[in-house]
A and B are shown apart, each in its own frame.
Chain A
Amino acid sequence: MSSKQFFVNRYTKLGWTYKEVKPKQAIRINTMNSNRDTVVKRLESLGIVLEKIPFLEDGYWISKSKFSVGATAEYLLGLYSIQEVAAQIPVTLFTELEDKMVLDACASPGGKTVQLANLMKNSGVIVALELKQRKMFALANQLERTRVKNTAVYNMDAREASKLNMKFDCVLLDVLCSGNYVTDKVWFSKRTIEDMKRNARQQRQILTEAVKVTKDGGEIVYATCSLEPEENELNIDWAIGALNVEVEEINCHGEKGLTNVFGKELDRSIEKCRRIWPNQTQGFFVCKLRKQV
């Protein structure tokens, strides 16, 4: 059996029929730097055709553009960011962000860090961690371009976040994962189930550390762009049992989280998570946890 067939069979068992998809490119307007309607008008005057994404306040699909939307003056001035549709969801799930202490535990390339700053209106504090030294400059460039002023970036492993001696109201865990086939043409040929298991172990370590640095009653948003339950529902099921957290109800695009994975029954509250099978977006998983007092 080919690697592709192996994964496609797994998706079938999880109740989804595999299909090739090619989601449209999307942008998110940085409303801290400009007015939404003004940016839309300016982009339309350049001949870019935008389509409002119905489930995202500041998100637009690029329906047509003769040139790269990553090379306009408006982009370079930080008026918008190029951000995949599903990737725009996690940050919107926090209840309240203004003036809060926020941790972005796996920050690079920084799209969600900028989105956090945007929703916080540059108030409060964001601590952004990135493990890889080589990604630090790109992250810094992104923050400078979008005029983010409330963020401190550290070259640090999220599994060591408690070394900062800080407690956070909100923690974003956009954890490293195995990705999905939509954004990577050779995904099926390079991934194995062992990758998922290794990633899942690392993700649980990050979850454990995140709970440690979250204030009692604080919120943790966990997200991956993986379709594999080992990195998603199974991790959250483990967290409910091992860590002091509960899954919170969220209202966003996507289907309910799976509560039966390959015959294994999971905690019922996992259906409050959202699983996004590839269609208009890449594959994605997101959930909100609250640290119990």
Chain B
Amino acid sequence: MTMKAINDFVAQFNASIPLDESHIVRNRNRYYLLSKKLKQQVPKGFFYAGAYLGAVKGASFFPSFLLLSMIAERKANKLVIGKKTAWLFICGRDIFKQGILKGNNLKKGDYTLILNEHNECLGFGKIMHNLREEPDVNKVVVKNILDIGDFLRREKRQSRRQQRSRSLQGSDRKPHKSTHK
């Protein structure tokens, strides 16, 4: 199951990555790739370890940004987008044709990694129209599925959850550890 879920996900980008299955470990529904040293040295029972690859929820695989970056280092479906489009994409928006700087022959239904001008992976999306065709400029050509802005959205969700639990618990006179330490 481990490798199949990951390989199937990677294959959606017409890519493959050489992962050593013996170094992949599962913790709850999350998968991690451990270095040789981590595998030898650290005991079981960790919360997080090595390179986080993603999580399986039901029949779906939710990739980590580390995995997306690993795919982006190899031959795969990729689109390079301009600065402004990159910012909008990070904010969760879809992509219009004019925002694409470089792309290959992607067809409707394909999945693609989205890269910025520095070739850094910002997330991935699904092609909504064949890119070779001339779609209506007002139509979305890539639907945003996951972008790195998710780190901020997760923080907000978690902080809301914490506030709720703190308000249920009361007191804030606890040992201190400042944020951003």
Contacts and interface: CB of A to CB of B under 8 A. Distances in A.
A73 B173 CA distance: 35
A214 interface: no
Contact of B86 (A42, A73, A111, A149): A73
Contacts of A125: 37-38, 41-42
Q: Chain A binding site: helix, strand, loop or mixed by DSSP?
A: mixed
Interface in B33-79: 33, 35, 37-38, 41-43, 45-52, 64-66, 69
B179 A144 contact: no
B173 A190 contact: yes
A124 B173 contact: no
B155 A87 contact: no
A134 interface: yes
B109 to A, nearest CB: 28
B144 interface: no
**Which 3 A-B pairs give the minimum distances between C-beta atoms?**
A179-B176, A176-B175, A152-B49
A225 B181 CA distance: 9
A140 B180 contact: no
A263 B173 CA distance: 30
Interface of A: 42, 70-71, 73, 76-77, 81-84, 87, 101, 106, 108-109, 111-112, 124-125, 127, 134, 136-141, 143-145, 147, 149-155, 164-166, 174, 176-179, 183-184, 190, 195, 199, 202, 225-226, 282
B151 A145 contact: yes
Contact of A225 (B52, B90, B176): B176
Contacts of B50: 149-152
A70 B179 CA distance: 12
B121 to A, nearest CB: 8
Contacts of B122: 73, 77
A190 B171 CA distance: 11
B178 A183 contact: yes
Nearest to B162: A134
A44 to B, nearest CB: 15
A83 B181 contact: yes
Interface in B138-176: 148-149, 151-152, 154-155, 158, 161-162, 165, 172-173, 175-176
B177 to A, nearest CB: 6
B47 A155 contact: yes
A143 B180 contact: no
Nearest to B91: A71
A152 B38 contact: yes
B8 interface: no
A173 to B, nearest CB: 12
A140 B87 CA distance: 24
14 contacts: A77-B148, A109-B179, A109-B180, A125-B42, A141-B155, A145-B151, A152-B38, A152-B48, A153-B46, A154-B46, A184-B176, A190-B172, A195-B175, A225-B176
B123 to A, nearest CB: 10
Contacts of B165: 134
A199 B181 contact: no
B90 A109 contact: no
A151 B149 CA distance: 23
B48 A76 contact: no
A187 B118 CA distance: 44
A140 B66 CA distance: 12
B112 to A, nearest CB: 18
B149 A76 contact: yes
Contacts of B158: 137-138, 141
Contacts of A106: 177
Contact of A139 (B48, B116, B118): B48
A111 to B, nearest CB: 5
B177 A152 contact: no
Contacts of A202: 175
Contacts of A150: 35, 37-38, 50
A149 B179 CA distance: 22
Nearest to A202: B175
Nearest to A84: B180
B151 A109 contact: no
B178 A282 contact: yes
Contacts of A166: 41-43
B178 A84 contact: yes
